[in-house]
Amino acid sequence: MAGSSAALPTGVVLSGVFATLGGALVARLSWRRGTRMEGFRLLLSLAATVWGVGQLMLGVQLIGGPADFPAAGDIVSMLAAPLAVAGLLRLPRRTAEPQAGLRLGLEALMIGAAGQMVLWRFWFRGPRGVPLDGGDLVALAILSCELLVLALLLVCAVRDTDRGVVVACTGLGTYVAGELLTTHAAPGAVGEHLGWVGAAVSCVVWPVILLGILAVDARPSVTSLRAAPRAELRRSVVTSVAVLLPMMLFMYGLLLDGYADPVSLALGAGVVIGFAGREVVRGRQAHALLDRLAEQAHRDPLTGLGNRRALTSDLDRLRSTGTPAVVLTLDVDRFKEVNGQLGHSAGDAVLVEVARAMDSVCQSAGARSYRLGGDEFAILSRAGLGESRELAERVRHAVRVGAAAVPGLGRIVLTGSVGLAVVKQADGHGSGDPLRALTESIEALRFAKLERNRVWVYDEALAEQARRRATMERRLALAVETRAIEMHFQPIVQLATGRVTGIEALARWRDADLGVVAPDVFIALAEQTGLIHGLGRLALEQSIAMLATPAAAELKVGVNVSPLQLRDPGFVTEVAAILHRYSVEPRRLVLEVTEGIFVDPNDRAVHALRELSALGVVIAIDDFGEGYSSWGYLDRLPADILKIDRRLTGQAGDARTMAVIRAIVDMASALGLDAVVEGVETPAAATSLLAMGAEFAQGWLYSAAVPAAELPAVLRRLRSAQRDLDQPVVAGTRAASGGVVRQHPQAFAVGGDHDVA
């Protein structure tokens, strides 16, 4: 360093102070943070400190008088270069890019060598044309280091998206470039001015550099796929310009000289090697990027499992290899409730946990899992059907466990339904078509979902059933729409007098293709498919319309309603509207419900029943005595009638059953409910029921359910039979003598030729 005035030493000392103190401070802070990437911060701040100490030494020496180059301070400062290089080379570790450090090094080498060629031709060799002395060689070494650091800083600033890196590298670059100029290129008076400029620059640049170093985010950076190509282009342009400009200058020098010396040739070779090496690395990076893109295209972003595309391509591969396999599909039961009640982020958390639990089970079994979308998953198992079924059970369990790991689900317990289908088995079983197996597996899943928390294996019988069900569903929808469902009516009589007091409406469906379908079958289907609402409306309308005809003038009509209808918010209003339309009093309508809905007193259906009861509509509990009859709740319900199940009446000969029926009849009368005994088929049954005090009855003994058009005739017949009775029986006489009633039930006996199934 050559300079005699006070300016230069002041600048040097100032920058030395800033660099030393700032570097030490940052080093101390980074030490405390202690993350993995702190190496960058630490090495760079140490480099600053070492640099600063060297500058301080130099400054002090300069204050005493001019110093020879290289002074001791210059040598110390030079030691900062390897530290800085080591620090900068750590930066690429934050990215997932392969060989990023190598590429960075090669690019710096390329640019550094190109810059060096210019320095060599125009500064050292060219203008002087004299052999180099020792001082020249040291100067050259220092310059080379500075150039390399400069090149490295340039590339780092361009390639990195982190603001801290960009600020620190740009600041350092500015400083090093200034150093280069002041120390080596500015003799005499210029040097003196630059000394002041250098001092001013130090005051600003060092704090900026150190803040930049502090601000660098040590966590791995995620360069988005969209940003990556743009950053790559910018980097390409800058490095190319940084190599090409000096090269052109150098070639201009060659032109002037007419020959190339060995050092220039060696430097030129350095540039070419750097360039070629970088191209190789870039090719590899592009390859790795494409691999990663392909990988991402086959991955579900939320759960990290393979996606539908991955499954399809794996199934394709399976077809060509023909190895045994089973396809499983899985669906989370009640997942919609989570999404609906707790929001989508809760839903996502469930999916992530379920996927995790499921995947670990699959991995231990050597199977691969996929997410098909929503809450639907698939698994490809290479095991036999037996083992795959076990896997399915374990996966079903894993869904429960995984979902339970999500906090805040409250009362929602999530389970999983699984469908299985064989692609091919070792014994040759299976179609061998993986895509078909996937469809079959989904078909089986549909069945599993009907019951929830189940595993279903696809087979042909199941498929046939599924097809029949699908056809029936279609036909039923059409029947409801075209009002092809017709209500038949069955009389309800007072046992003692034979007087008809009401009718029950029973739905009948005769389909052109399917023939007569039993109500138990199509009602259940309607409930599963939601068609019950349309069907129920039809039933109500036809039944209430019947009451408006003269034949049924005095009667009540019982209409069966499903809990699903009762839970429909518009149901009560709808019933009221239909009654109003036909001008029928509410007390003539009896709604028959099964007791199952009373299990939960908070059920919307129970509220609806209370409202209907308040309107004056009569409520009957249907099928009492079947399944789990509970007596405790009866007095708390809005019920008026108890219908004793026909399956109980069917065994009416049996003494124990008679005791049960008697107990129900007694209880009903104690609670003020009317008891209707269903399924009375024989005079004997009627006789004994009457003897035990049952008041109303219904059954084939009197009439089967008949079409509306035939009801007037049936009612006429029953009335005339009643008139034929020589002696009416007083209702409710429990101890009525057998002699009185023995013959009158026979008076009603007719062949129930309609609908008697």
Interface residue list for ligand C2E (CB under 6 A):
490, 506-507, 518-520, 523, 536, 539, 560-562, 592, 622-623, 646, 678-681, 699-700, 705, 755
Under rule CB under 5 A, residue 333 binds Ca ion: no
Site for Ca ion in 558-617 (CB under 5 A): 560, 592
Question: Per-residue DSSP letters for 106-154?
Answer: HHHHHHHHHHHHHHIIIIIITTT-S---HHHHHHHHHHHHHHHHHHHHH
The distance of closest approach from Cβ of residue 677 to Ca ion in the complex, given in angstroms and rounded to an integer, is 10
The entry of ligand C2E, Ca ion, none near residue 683 (CB within 5 to 8 angstroms by kind) is none
The Cβ of residue 5 has, within 10 Å, a number of other Cβ atoms equal to 14
For residues 19 and 59, is the Cβ–Cβ distance under 8 A?
Answer: no
Cβ pair 332, 273 in contact under 8 A: no
Residue 216 vs 590, nearer CB to ligand C2E? 590
**Segment interacting with Ca ion, rule: CB under 5 A, options 23-31, 440-448, 481-489, 678-686:** 678-686
Residue closer to ligand C2E by CB (options 80, 539) is 539
With CB atoms as reference, the residue minimizing the distance to Ca ion is 592
Nearer to ligand C2E, 313 or 528 (CB): 528
Tell me how far, at minimum, the Cβ of 351 lies from ligand C2E, in Å.
37
| Residues 23-52, mask of contacts with Ca ion (x by CB under 5 A) | ------------------------------
Residues across the chain? 757
Tell me the closest approach of the beta carbon of residue 479 to ligand C2E, in angstroms: 13
- Closest contact distance (angstroms) between CB of 562 and ligand C2E is 4
Binding region for Ca ion (CB under 5 A) out of 257-265, 577-585, 620-628, 711-719: 620-628
Q: Identify which of residues 371 and 508 has a Cβ nearer to ligand C2E in the complex.
A: 508
For Ca ion, the binding residues in 221-280 under the rule CB under 5 A are none
Q: What is the distance of C-alpha 45 from the center of its chain?
A: 46
Instruction: Give the CA distances from residue 454 to residues 361, 420, 447, 663, in Å, rounded to whole numbers and listed in that order.
Output: 17, 11, 9, 40
Q: Name the minimum Å distance from CB 624 to Ca ion.
A: 8
Contact partner at residue 539 from ligand C2E, Ca ion, none, CB < 5 to 8 Å by partner kind: ligand C2E
Residue number, 74 or 592, with CB nearest to Ca ion:
592
CB within 8 A of 147, min separation 6: which ones? Answer: 112, 115, 116, 119, 180
For residues 600 and 598, what is the distance between their CA atoms, to the nearest angstrom?
5
Q: Nearest distance from residue 584's CB to ligand C2E, in Å? A: 17
Q: What's the half-sphere exposure (Cβ side, CA atoms, 13 Å) at 238? A: 17
Q: What is the dihedral of CA 11, 16, 17, 19, to 10 degrees?
A: 120
By CB atoms closer than 10 A (0-12, 13-18, 19+), residue 416 is buried
**Integer Cα distance of 195 and 581 in angstroms:** 104
- What is the rounded CA–CA span in Å between residue 647 and residue 150? 96
Instruction: Report how far residue 553's alpha carbon sits from residue 555's, in angstroms, rounded to the nearest whole number.
Output: 6
Question: Tokens 């002699």 sit at which residue?
Answer: 739
As measured in angstroms, the least distance from the Cβ of 677 to ligand C2E is 10
Residue 406 partner contact from Ca ion, ligand C2E, none using kind-dependent CB cut-offs of 5 to 8 Å: none
- Residue from the set 179, 623, 681, 695 that interacts with Ca ion by CB under 5 A: 623
- The strands making up 376-381's β-sheet, listed across from edge to edge, are 368-373, 376-381, 325-332, 416-424, 455-457
Residues in the interface with Ca ion (CB under 5 A) total 5
- Residue range at the interface with Ca ion (CB under 5 A); choices 255-263, 297-305, 529-537, 619-627: 619-627
With CB cut-offs between 5 and 8 Å by kind, which of Ca ion, ligand C2E, none does residue 705 bind?
A: ligand C2E
Considering only 74, 160, 333, 622, the residue that binds Ca ion (CB under 5 A) is 622
From the list 202-210, 258-266, 372-380, 555-563, the region that binds Ca ion by CB under 5 A is 555-563
- How many helices (H) and strands (E) are present in the chain, helices listed first? 27, 15
Tell me the angle at which helices 134-159 and 100-119 cross, rounded to the nearest 10 degrees: 140
Instruction: Name the minimum Å distance from CB 315 to ligand C2E.
Output: 44
Least gap, CB of 301 to ligand C2E (angstroms): 46
Which of the choices ligand C2E, Ca ion, none does residue 399 contact, using the CB cut-off of 5 to 8 A by kind?
A: none
Taking the complex as a whole, the smallest distance from the CB of residue 684 to ligand C2E amounts, in Å, to 13
Q: Which two tokens stand for residue 327?
A: 């396809």
Collapsing DSSP states into helix, strand and coil, what is residue 729?
coil
Distance, CA of 598 to CA of 615 (rounded, Å): 20
Report the partner that residue 38 touches, choosing among Ca ion, ligand C2E, none (CB closer than 5 to 8 A by kind). Answer: none
Residue 221 phi, psi (nearest 5): -85, 140
Considering CB distances under 5 to 8 angstroms, the limit depending on partner class, which of Ca ion, ligand C2E, none binds residue 561?
Answer: ligand C2E
The token pair that represents 347 in the structure block: 């839903």
Contacted by 679, from ligand C2E, Ca ion, none: CB < 5 to 8 Å by type: ligand C2E
Q: Which is nearer to ligand C2E, 291 or 481 (CB)?
A: 481
Name the minimum Å distance from CB 495 to ligand C2E.
14
Q: How far is the C-alpha of 648 from the C-alpha of 657, rounded, in Å?
A: 7
What letter would DSSP give residue 595?
A: G
Angle, to 10 degrees, between the axis of helix 7-33 and the axis of helix 188-215? 10
C-beta of 146 vs 622, nearer to Ca ion: 622
Residue number, 166 or 621, with CB nearest to ligand C2E: 621
Alpha carbon distance 9, 65 (integer Å) = 9
> Shortest approach of ligand C2E to residue 304 CB, angstroms?
47
Rounded CA separation 374/330 (Å): 11
Shortest approach of Ca ion to residue 562 CB, angstroms? Answer: 11
Two tokens, residue 203: 């005051």
* Interacting partner of 542 out of ligand C2E, Ca ion, none (Cβ under 5 to 8 A depending on kind): none
Q: By beta-carbon distance, which residue lies closest to ligand C2E? A: 699
- Residues near Ca ion (CB under 5 A): 560, 592, 622-623, 678
